[in-house]
Structure 1
Amino acid sequence: MEEKNPIQVAGRLFGALEMLIENRSAGLMEISERLGLNKSTAHRVLNSLIYMGYARQNETSGRYEPSLKIVDLAGKIMSNMDIIHMVRPFLRRLMEQADETVHFVEREGVEAVYIDKVEAMRNGIQMVSRIGSRIPLYCSGVGKAMLAYMDEQEVKDVWKNSNIHALTPYTITDFNVFRQELEKTRERGYALDNEENERGVRCIAVSLQEYTGRRRYAFSISAPVSRMDDERIKCLTGYILETKEQIEKIINGLHV
């Protein structure tokens, strides 16, 4: 059951800000209709965002636009994430070895958030993923790579609280089958996403074990199925497992 925002005005402010960011700009009526607010309320919300520096009104078109303040805040958050700076050289080398795009994620609830990405420009094909976007744990390689090492109850909780549905014909939606997949992941040391989240894309992924034993970070190699058959996955296995070992020595060595 979806919970109601305890502070209504916060929902309106962030709803308007998210709309401006997603659409680059919006008119008063667009925001009013999208958020279900009357014009005067929508106008007050927008003026509040302008006052706080998160939005501005284009003098020529009269439309409202997001300011760069949110980018500045995001940059400060990312700069504080030392883990990214530590692993980036390893991810870049992995990208060069595989000649495919590498993603780095952090678990947040029942989802994983892309916090870094090293893009490969092979054949001019780029992945649609972007830093800050989210992906469900239950149907992703990175998600299964982390879930495989969680206890049974935590796996059940993630499954129960996820919106389980078939994103593609290959998405696993049966819990017993999913548990078997996690067992395979533990046995071989890496997880696979066989077009389960996005049709036409396969991934090989591993999670990082921290000194505490938890696994909140994972990374993957992603590629179109035309370049990611079973033989190619076997070739990439050595690269990704070696990278995992090297990164774990670095992040855990800091706590010795």
Structure 2
Amino acid sequence: MESKNPIQVSERIFHTIEYLAQSGPTGLQDLSNELGLNKSTVHRILNSLICMDYVRQDTETLKYSLSFKFCRISNQILSQNSMIDIARPYIKQLAERSGETVHLVQIDHIHAVYIDKVESPRNSVRLVSMVGKSIPLYCSGVGKAMLADMPDEKIRSVWEQSDIRKITEYTITDLADFQEEIRKIRRNGYSLDNEENEPGVRCIAVSLKSFQGKPSYALSISAPKDRMEDSRIEELKEMILNTKEKISQETGSF
């Protein structure tokens, strides 16, 4: 009897985890349909994940969902990231001064991942962003800020590997237009997200270099577009560039 491909087994396990993370509580039949696997196979995968405390089953609905063990693992990963500790006091101060939501992200291949978020106590509007969520580099303020600090050939590589599509009516999907946007960011020292990733939301962002001098992080101020007119952007520009300088002095990377 031919043994199972261990890579295929792992792939099925992670597809199950990723689908549950995206969909929330799901029944066995729906999982089977979505994953394209028979119910017995999915049931074995789920039982294994339940035994390891990664999945739980509701006794009433019989639906499966991920456990909080993933949150514990996520917190352990984030706790090892010293950039969060260094930047935290500065982004709290920036949120208080600006009265808006401030994000810290880290690059992850062709995406940016939110690793910290501070909302101003004066801000009554809550954005959909959350720590752990990833967004494409090509259509986000933070992503474009980091890309602008990279060589042109690296930018083209990221573009070619990305799923370029119109997320909103303002998303840039033409490479020539995107390259012009990058040149503008390099001149200004900051990037803008003009409702390119989320309708009704604008942001201003700057890149932050890692201890090794690579553009691995970015900082942004986000707000509903009615609070982010061009005149307001001019005010926030000074705040965020000043915060970038302070953090860069701490990390020793300019």
Is the TM value for this pair above 0.5?
Answer: yes
**Alpha-carbon distance in 2 for matches of 1:159, 1:24:** 31
**Alpha-carbon distance in 2 for matches of 1:57, 1:213:** 46
Q: Which runs of 5+ in 1 are unaligned?
A: none
SS for the counterpart of 2:179 is helix
Cα deviation code 1:172-204 (max 9, x no counterpart): 122122111111111111111111111211110
Q: Is the 8 A contact 2:100 2:123 kept in 1?
A: no
1:53 corresponds to which residue? 53
Q: Is the 8 A contact 2:99 2:123 kept in 1?
A: no
2:191 corresponds to which residue? 191
**Alpha-carbon distance in 1 for matches of 2:240, 2:111:** 22
One-letter code of the match for 2:137? Answer: L
**CA offset at residue 132 of structure 1?**
1.1
Runs (4+) of structure 1 moved beyond 4 Å? Answer: none
2:129 corresponds to which residue? 129
2:96 corresponds to which residue? 96
Q: Is the 8 A contact 2:102 2:222 kept in 1?
A: yes
Distance 1:159 1:62, change over 3 A: closer
**CA offset at residue 211 of structure 1?**
4.9
2:142 corresponds to which residue? 142
1:38 corresponds to which residue? 38
1:9 corresponds to which residue? 9
**Alpha-carbon distance in 2 for matches of 1:24, 1:176:** 39
Aligned length: 249
SS for the counterpart of 2:222 is strand
**Alpha-carbon distance in 1 for matches of 2:24, 2:63:** 10
**CA offset at residue 213 of structure 1?**
3.0
Distance 1:242 1:41, change over 3 A: same
**CA offset at residue 61 of structure 1?**
3.7
**Alpha-carbon distance in 1 for matches of 2:209, 2:93:** 20
**Alpha-carbon distance in 1 for matches of 2:116, 2:200:** 22
1:237 corresponds to which residue? 237
**CA offset at residue 106 of structure 1?**
0.7
Matches within 5 A, 1:213-252: 213-252=213-252
Distance 1:211 1:8, change over 3 A: closer
Q: Is the 8 A contact 1:120 1:126 kept in 2?
A: no
One-letter code of the match for 1:67? Answer: S
Matched, 1:174 2:145: no
1:156 corresponds to which residue? 156
SS for the counterpart of 1:124 is coil
Normalising by structure 2, report the TM-score.
0.91
One-letter code of the match for 1:71? Answer: C
Normalising by structure 1, report the TM-score.
0.91
Cα deviation code 1:84-134 (max 9, x no counterpart): 111111001000011000111111111111111112354521111111111
Distance 1:26 1:82, change over 3 A: same
Q: Percent of counterpart pairs with the same letter?
A: 50
SS for the counterpart of 2:252 is helix
**Alpha-carbon distance in 1 for matches of 2:114, 2:136:** 11
SS for the counterpart of 1:139 is coil
Q: Is the 8 A contact 1:57 1:64 kept in 2?
A: yes
SS for the counterpart of 1:62 is coil
One-letter code of the match for 1:75? Answer: N
Matched, 1:62 2:62: yes
**Alpha-carbon distance in 1 for matches of 2:151, 2:211:** 17
One-letter code of the match for 1:59? Answer: T
Q: Which runs of 5+ in 2 are unaligned?
A: none
RMSD: 1.9
**Alpha-carbon distance in 1 for matches of 2:213, 2:68:** 38
**Alpha-carbon distance in 2 for matches of 1:21, 1:213:** 34
